[in-house]
């Protein structure tokens, strides 16, 4: 495991998860997806998002014509699965042993998927950091500012990278500009999985 570098307040661990841990976490996430299948969200304006997603935990994050929000049940009406221990182990190592996250959002990026610049601000308590885990293909992660616009910095997140967004960086704009498709052998068909853990409040 390499050390941590800080970019605009974001703590980036480029090789936090070794190959064995990545594989174990992937299998756990597949179990989550079997119980709560991936779905294709829309923005409140009706525009389809390019990622597919699902969640685990007490609540899950959803987006549709009714807005961005946390919901207690999957869009198909079923409950969200529990957060895998492989994910919680990283949270407890880097964020807190006193409180576990309420939501574990799982996003899948295909070859053409991206995520526009945004803030994670649907929670009621911003004092808790956001934990982001990367599995599979490399993603070009762009970090902006606490307001829209201005200069940005970009870094490729490889499989096994972990990012902690806390403190003054908690509400910094960030996004994924593109995927380096099939740059990793973890997902045989290609793609990137991003796991984001949050305390909702």
Q: What's the CA angle centered on 60, arms 45 and 52, to 5 degrees?
A: 60
Residue segments in the chain with a per-residue pLDDT below the cut of 70: 1-2
Q: CB of 95 within 8 A of CB of 128?
A: yes
Distances (CA, A) of 1 to 14, 29, 130, 163: 8, 22, 21, 14
Look at residue 66 in the predicted model and tell me its pLDDT.
Answer: 93
Closest CA to 110 of 182, 30, 35, 24: 182
Look at residue 53 in the predicted model and tell me its pLDDT.
Answer: 98
Candidates 3.40.1160.10, 2.60.120.590, 3.60.10.10, 3.30.420.40; CATH matching 4-198:
2.60.120.590
Separation between Cα atoms, residue 118 and residue 138, nearest integer Å:
20
Look at residue 3 in the predicted model and tell me its pLDDT.
Answer: 85
Separation between Cα atoms, residue 173 and residue 81, nearest integer Å:
29
Q: CB of 132 within 8 A of CB of 162?
A: yes
Whole-model pTM: value is 0.96
Domain range annotation of the chain: 4-198
Look at residue 180 in the predicted model and tell me its pLDDT.
Answer: 98
């Amino acid at each position: 495991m390499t050390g941590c570098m800080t970019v605009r307040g974001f703590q980036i661990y480029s090789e936090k998860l070794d190959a064995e841990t990545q594989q174990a976490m992937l299998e756990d996430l597949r179990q989550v997806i079997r119980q709560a299948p991936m779905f294709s969200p829309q923005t409140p304006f009706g525009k389809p998002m390019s990622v597919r997603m699902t969640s685990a935990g007490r609540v899950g994050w959803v987006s549709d014509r009714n807005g961005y929000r946390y919901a207690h049940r999957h869009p198909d009406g079923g409950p969200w699965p529990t957060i895998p221990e492989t994910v919680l182990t990283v949270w407890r190592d880097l964020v807190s042993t006193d409180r576990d996250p309420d939501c574990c959002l799982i996003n899948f990026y295909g070859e053409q998927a991206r995520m526009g610049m945004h803030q994670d601000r649907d929670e009621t308590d911003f004092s808790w950091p956001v934990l982001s885990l990367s599995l599979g293909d490399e993603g070009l992660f762009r970090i902006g500012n606490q307001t829209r616009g201005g200069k940005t910095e970009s870094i490729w997140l490889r499989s096994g990278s972990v990012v902690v967004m806390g403190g003054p960086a908690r509400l910094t704009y960030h996004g994924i500009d593109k995927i380096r498709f099939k740059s990793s052998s973890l997902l045989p068909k290609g793609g990137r999985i991003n796991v984001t853990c949050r305390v909702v409040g």
